[in-house]
């Protein structure tokens, strides 16, 4: 992301709509090229995507190379790919940059369901994705609060969408994404706060922290829920008060806990000492609250509430889940299996087959020459806010693990390449494999 919110807002909406239409014009060949080896980290995958698109020798594929793969084109090829008028307009407004006869995009876009959007470098759009699994069809009005810059999932769920963006840049990106999607002004509106009288059939809210300021936004969002509507809430940390604020009367509650970081016993003890509400007592109280909120028998649903609790500490547990086949696509089972394997004995770990988690983003980290640091790769798995920086040797290990039929086979390859004893390689690398499974960088292949 290299454009400010002001510069994004200065780009005429008709140019963004024209660009979105151009990028959506690709056929299945272009779509297949964008899906090349999706399990690889982004930094490893994009050059391969660009190569596949270039092989198509098609103007629409060249446009996709510019914006989806981060590739550059000659000035003539860029004009052919986008059309001379649109190319000149995007150059004039800084969305395209020209240097030494080559043209590149100032920011990278992603293709989500055939819709081009500015790539989201923040958290994943967990709330809209969860809503898609729970709703039977489109609702009339939806409210989206915080979270991802992506509005494509919500556009598929609601006829009219209102978004609340607490940061100016987030608001500008959402407005730009609405134009790229071809959404009309009366269909997508970005506001500072919802109208006090407005009611919405769907409210999707994502909070990073439980603080008084966000509690105000949360309370207004809950109050904006229409009778019989659905509230989807994704938060990073929960306590009893927040759970109460998220539970309107006679609401059905879904609580899912995702492990974000590995927690050892010492860390859990320190966390419990700092925060008395954490630890075993916290888990027990949270479970009791969920049990009281769960609807009994054939109780009539006035509203449905889905809560995804993303906590860093203490150790994870799944407090309660609802029987819903639509939720099976969420990576909960795979996440739990990976965390279990991370704590298994060495023999079980060596027999297992693991892979780089699908959807993991990657970016190169430049070497800090003054500090003597080595180049590395920053990897951020899905649903994670922070990236993990690994060195070249660890990146090579992950690539071998991804391709090998078992962890031990990958370690044998590492040992041969390094001309080192296999036992020494196992002792040195298995802790890294365990950590990567715990943090979500690696996942179990069934």
Q: What is the pLDDT of residues 70-85, one digit of tens each?
A: 888 999 999 999 999 9
| pLDDT tops 80 at residue 432 | yes
Residue 261 has pLDDT above 50, yes or no: no
Find all residues with CB under 8 Å of 195, minimum gap 6, and list them.
none
Which are the contacts of 339, defined by CB distance < 8 A and separation ≥ 6?
Answer: 259, 262, 316, 437, 438
DSSP tag of 270 = H
**What is each CA distance from 433 to 110, 341, 342, 343, 429, in whole angstroms?**
30, 10, 8, 11, 6
Cα–chain center distance at 148: 8
Decide: helix, strand or coil at residue 62: helix
Joined tokens for residue 100: 């030494």
Provide the pLDDT for residue 370: 45
Number of other residues whose CB lies within 10 A of the CB of residue 14: 11
Give the ranges where 294-391 is alpha helix by DSSP (H).
332-342, 346-351
* pLDDT band, very low/low/confident/very high, at 246 (cuts 50, 70, 90): low
Local structure of 300: helix, strand or coil: coil
Q: 93-127 in b/e burial notation, b at 16+ Cβ within 10 A?
A: bbbbeeeeeebbbbbbbbbbeebbbbbbebbbbbb
Q: What is the pLDDT of residue 350?
A: 94
Q: Out of 20-34, 153-167, 393-407, give the one with best mean pLDDT.
A: 393-407
397 versus 378: which is more confidently predicted?
Answer: 397
- Give the tens place of pLDDT for each residue, 99-138: 888 999 988 888 876 788 887 654 445 666 666 666 667 8
83 compared with 271, residue with greater pLDDT: 83
Q: Which of 110, 147, 114 is nearest to 128 (CA)?
A: 147
Give the tokens for residue 409. Answer: 């086979």
* pLDDT for residue 288 is more than 60: no
- Which among 90, 92, 103 has a CA at the least distance from the CA of 62? 103
d(CA 82, CA 98): 14
User: How confident is the model at residue 271, as a pLDDT?
Assistant: 44
Query: What pLDDT digit, counting tens, does each position of 320-369 carry?
Result: 232 333 334 444 456 667 777 887 889 999 999 998 887 676 666 554 44
Give the best-scoring range by mean pLDDT among 51-55, 130-134, 376-380: 51-55
What is residue 427's predicted lDDT score, i.e. its pLDDT?
A: 93
């Amino acid at each position: 992301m290299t454009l400010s919110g002001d510069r994004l807002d200065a780009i005429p909406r008709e140019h963004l709509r024209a660009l979105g239409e151009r990028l959506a014009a690709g056929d299945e060949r272009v779509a297949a090229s964008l899906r090349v080896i999706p399990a690889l980290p982004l930094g490893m995958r994009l050059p391969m995507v660009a190569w596949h698109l270039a092989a198509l020798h098609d103007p629409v594929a060249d446009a996709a190379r510019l914006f989806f793969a981060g590739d550059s084109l000659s000035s003539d090829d860029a004009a052919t790919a986008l059309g001379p008028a649109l190319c000149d307009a995007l150059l004039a407004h800084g969305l395209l940059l020209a240097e030494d006869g080559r043209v590149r995009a100032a920011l990278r876009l992603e293709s989500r369901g055939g819709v081009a959007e500015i790539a989201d470098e923040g958290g994943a759009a967990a709330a809209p994705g969860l809503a898609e699994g729970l709703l039977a069809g489109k609702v009339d009005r939806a409210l989206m609060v915080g979270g991802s810059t992506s509005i494509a999932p919500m556009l598929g769920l609601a006829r009219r969408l209102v978004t609340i963006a607490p940061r100016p840049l987030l608001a500008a990106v959402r407005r730009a994404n609405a134009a790229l999607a071809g959404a009309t002004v009366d269909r997508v509106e970005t506001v500072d706060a919802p109208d006090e009288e407005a009611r919405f059939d769907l409210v999707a809210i994502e909070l990073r922290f439980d603080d008084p300021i966000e509690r105000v936004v949360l309370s207004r969002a809950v109050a904006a829920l229409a009778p019989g509507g659905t509230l989807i809430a994704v938060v990073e940390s929960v306590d009893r008060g927040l759970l109460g604020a998220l539970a309107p009367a006679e609401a059905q509650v879904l609580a899912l806990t995702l492990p974000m970081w590995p927690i050892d016993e010492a860390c859990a003890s320190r966390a419990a000492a700092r925060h008395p509400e954490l630890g075993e007592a916290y888990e027990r109280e949270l479970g009791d609250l969920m049990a009281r909120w769960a609807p009994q028998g054939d109780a009539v649903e006035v509203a449905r509430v889905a809560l995804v609790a993303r906590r860093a500490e203490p150790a994870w547990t799944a407090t309660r889940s609802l029987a819903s086949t639509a939720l099976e696509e969420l990576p909960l089972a795979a996440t739990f299996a990976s965390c279990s394997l991370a704590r298994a004995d060495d023999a079980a770990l060596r027999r297992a087959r693991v892979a780089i988690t699908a959807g993991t983003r990657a970016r190169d980290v430049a070497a800090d020459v003054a500090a003597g640091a080595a180049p590395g790769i920053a990897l951020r798995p899905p649903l994670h806010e922070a990236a993990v920086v690994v060195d070249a040797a660890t990146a090579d290990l992950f690539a071998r693990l991804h391709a090998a039929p078992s962890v031990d086979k990958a370690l044998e390859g590492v040992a041969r390449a390094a001309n080192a004893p296999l036992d020494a390689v196992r002792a040195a690398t298995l802790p890294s494999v365990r950590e990567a499974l715990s943090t979500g960088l690696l996942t179990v292949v069934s």
